[in-house]
Structure 1
Amino acid sequence: MYSNEDRQLAKKILEFSCELEKGQNVMLQLVGLNGIGLLRALVEHAREMEVNPYVQIEDTEIRRMLVETGDKKFWKGQAENDQLPLMKKMDAFVGVRAALNIYEQADVSKKANKAYADHFVDPVHYKERVNNTNWVVLRYPSEAFAMNAKMPTQRFREFYYKACLLDYTELAEAMEPLQARLEETDMIRLEGEGTDIEFSVKDQTWIPCFGKRNIPDGELFSSPILSSVNGHITYAPSVYQGKPFEYVKLEVRDGVVIDSDSSNNEALEDILDTDAGARQFGEFSFGLNPVIEEPMYDILFDEKIYGSNHLTLGNDYEIAPNGNESNIHWDLVCIGADVYLDGEKIREGREFIVDDLKSLNPENLLSG
């Protein structure tokens, strides 16, 4: 019916991440049929908790067909007549992303993506689900997923569950000294191969992430002061809107991208031209999951790579705002840059080098 690992994962999601209580409502959304085992485990555990599951199963090819053909009127109807009224009744949301082909939407036009984002994703997810439910989103392992990670299937499954079932309570404790430092910081600088960029985070809000919204988890994020970002940055491989990028390089002046280069410049320019906010930055984060070592073309994993940072193009989060508004939110990841807080080097490459932060290094977090 489902594996023991999926049983453990379902329990962690519903009890720890969503913090569900008897009689509450949870939407269980499966996108891609590959994750049916985990969905079964979630439904069974929800009923054991006397929680009310509302189950949605979406085929990824059907979703692609709808996104390709949907316009403003179509998506407003989908949101207002179906998804938004239901989401408003939910106490929690679990989104299992189980697509076998991460490039399924690669050929969807910019216009179609914008209609979907503006009139469905924004009202249903960004405005309602993100702000008014205990939500968690995760991927599900597959042979295709293992291939992107460049691992044999069985080793990838072992890696996947180790990353997802991390002791997040221990990670949360280890994050506290870093959060305390960042809350007193004005300027952050990243310096590494192809990267030399700085920005202010003075008086910004810092949010520790330890299994409450994403699985796997492990990041500490805020947002830069909009006009303060200056320099250049080189990012690791990424996939956005189904389009692959082997690298992305940006040059930034006073918070705005003024020049760029990538392995897919036509697609990059389309993304940067989405709106004014797409050329500015809505988030900055430290990746802190000690199990995740290398990029695997999946941002829910890649943004948590230990020894990484993501300086995100596009929309900010209301919980840690800087005023940037955009229809994109692209978590591009920079791995292994030295990190300076107000001139003090706290991380050399991927290793924290100051005593109060060394507990975040993998050899300490995974020692138990």
Structure 2
Amino acid sequence: MSYPTPDSRLAETLLSHSCALQPGENIMIQLVGLNGIGLVRALVEQVRALGANPFVRIEDTEINRSLLETGDEAFWKLQAAADQLPLMKLMDAFVGIRASENIYENSRVSPAQNKAYGEHFLKPVHFEERVNNTKWVILRYPSPAFAMNAKMPTREFAEFYYRACLLDYAKLREAMLPLEARLRKTNEIWLKGEGTDIRFSVKGQNWIPCFGERNIPDGELFSAPILDSVNGEITYAPSVYQGKPFEFVKLRVKDGLVTDFDSSDNDALQSILDTDPGARRFGEFSFGTNPVIEKPMYDILFDEKIYGSNHLTLGQDYEIASNGNDSSVHWDLVCIGADVYLDGELIRKGRLFVTEDLMGLNPEVFLGSAD
């Protein structure tokens, strides 16, 4: 008797749950980094067994870095128009596996080079076409380097990785429903914590519960603040953006616009904020609710799902929960452990929900009552 491997189980979740792939559909499987080839093999086998059509792209991170360092506006326009955009338009689904073993690979890419890539390739191919017109899912793949960022032994990290990724998402969805119902009736959100005191309106905004359909691991509930309503200050946990590490970021905001800031790398932060007008405004707000993920590990696909966290995102909004912000930046910065008030009512004290209807999202309840 053969037993399913972790990769085959993960592939099944990605195809059946995240992408709901159907016979005859086209799916792009993109592997960035040469680690993770076993998952690609499992995906291709299952896609073909289903009668669907895989289109496989395997990209080396050092080659990608070289292209970023030498690419200009004309180069990225050509790459999008001649290759990736026409192909993406043929896709019904997309699985993006991020398997780089060096999160700082692109740390020397200049702001101008990042801007050219973001505006003329990433935005048209991914933000506009893939995000809005395919059933897509993005995930990382475990490695010793990834374990090192998480400050965990390699084997222990792999076990943690699959527990976080293969969470009972149907159960998580049920636990999220009361929070979603509250948020749909909320006018104002207030976050109050150490270094954070910020308010904004979400009146009339759409809310999207995420339970393994677009990210793996998952566990977020997102919308977008009313564009000019954000006021106050917010302090974020460690983050990496465009290959550049930030040990902390603190923003001061007036009428939706970042007016002042501090961080562990103010020159790099200044460059990101100056990318375009939308980079100083916010395009997303979210609750992190994955009960397995406890602390930052310099990887936003995990960090934005940390239980007891929120992210208030600089830059581009999502069409499905729009507030009108337009930018080539989308930086999911995470604030952990702030008290959360909805229209003046405290619903989360630190990292734990305190109202009876929301306690099912607390780790000791969710994991303690697992089947």
Whether TM exceeds 0.5 here: the answer is yes
Q: CA deviation at 1:327?
A: 1.1
Q: Could you list the per-position Cα deviations for residues 10-30 of structure 1 after superposition, in whole angstroms to 9, with x for gaps in the alignment?
A: 000011100001111100000
List aligned pairs for 1:69-148, cutoff 5 A: 69-148=70-149
List aligned pairs for 1:256-335, cutoff 5 A: 256-335=257-336
Q: 2:246 corresponds to which residue?
A: 245
Q: CA deviation at 1:3?
A: 7.6
CA contact under 8 A between 1:3 and 1:37: conserved in structure 2?
no
Q: 2:51 corresponds to which residue?
A: 50
Q: CA deviation at 1:132?
A: 0.7
Q: CA deviation at 1:306?
A: 0.3
Amino acid across the alignment from 1:51:
A
2-side partners of 1:231 and 1:123: how far apart? Answer: 33
**Normalised by the size of structure 1, how large is the TM-score?**
0.99
1-side partners of 2:199 and 2:129: how far apart? Answer: 33
SS of the residue aligned with 2:97? strand
Q: Could you list the per-position Cα deviations for residues 304-333 of structure 1 after superposition, in whole angstroms to 9, with x for gaps in the alignment?
A: 000000001111111101111111010000
2-side partners of 1:222 and 1:62: how far apart? Answer: 35
C-alpha distance 60-3 of structure 1, shift in aligned 2 (>3 A): farther
1-side partners of 2:91 and 2:272: how far apart? Answer: 32
CA contact under 8 A between 1:221 and 1:286: conserved in structure 2?
yes
2-side partners of 1:282 and 1:81: how far apart? Answer: 30
Structure 2 unmatched runs, 5+: none
Amino acid across the alignment from 2:162:
Y
Q: CA deviation at 1:226?
A: 1.1
Q: CA deviation at 1:4?
A: 0.4
1:18 aligns with 2:47: no
CA contact under 8 A between 1:222 and 1:320: conserved in structure 2?
yes
Q: 2:230 corresponds to which residue?
A: 229
Amino acid across the alignment from 2:129:
E
List aligned pairs for 1:136-175, cutoff 5 A: 136-175=137-176
Amino acid across the alignment from 2:313:
T
1-side partners of 2:86 and 2:259: how far apart? Answer: 41
1-side partners of 2:256 and 2:127: how far apart? Answer: 24
Aligned-CA RMSD value: 1.0
Amino acid across the alignment from 1:214:
N
1-side partners of 2:45 and 2:320: how far apart? Answer: 32
Amino acid across the alignment from 1:56:
R
Amino acid across the alignment from 2:97:
V
2-side partners of 1:73 and 1:313: how far apart? Answer: 26
2-side partners of 1:52 and 1:319: how far apart? Answer: 27
Q: 1:183 corresponds to which residue?
A: 184
Q: Could you list the per-position Cα deviations for residues 232-252 of structure 1 after superposition, in whole angstroms to 9, with x for gaps in the alignment?
A: 110000000000000000111
Q: Could you list the per-position Cα deviations for residues 92-147 of structure 1 after superposition, in whole angstroms to 9, with x for gaps in the alignment?
A: 00000000000000000111111111111111111111111000000000000000
Question: Runs of at least 4 residues of structure 1 off by over 6 A?
Answer: none
Amino acid across the alignment from 1:54:
F
Q: Could you list the per-position Cα deviations for residues 257-280 of structure 1 after superposition, in whole angstroms to 9, with x for gaps in the alignment?
A: 111000111101111111111111
1-side partners of 2:274 and 2:338: how far apart? Answer: 28
Amino acid across the alignment from 2:176:
M
1-side partners of 2:276 and 2:200: how far apart? Answer: 22
SS of the residue aligned with 1:15? helix
Q: CA deviation at 1:363?
A: 1.3
2-side partners of 1:114 and 1:329: how far apart? Answer: 12
SS of the residue aligned with 2:35? helix
1:216 aligns with 2:217: yes
Q: 2:205 corresponds to which residue?
A: 204
Q: 1:337 corresponds to which residue?
A: 338
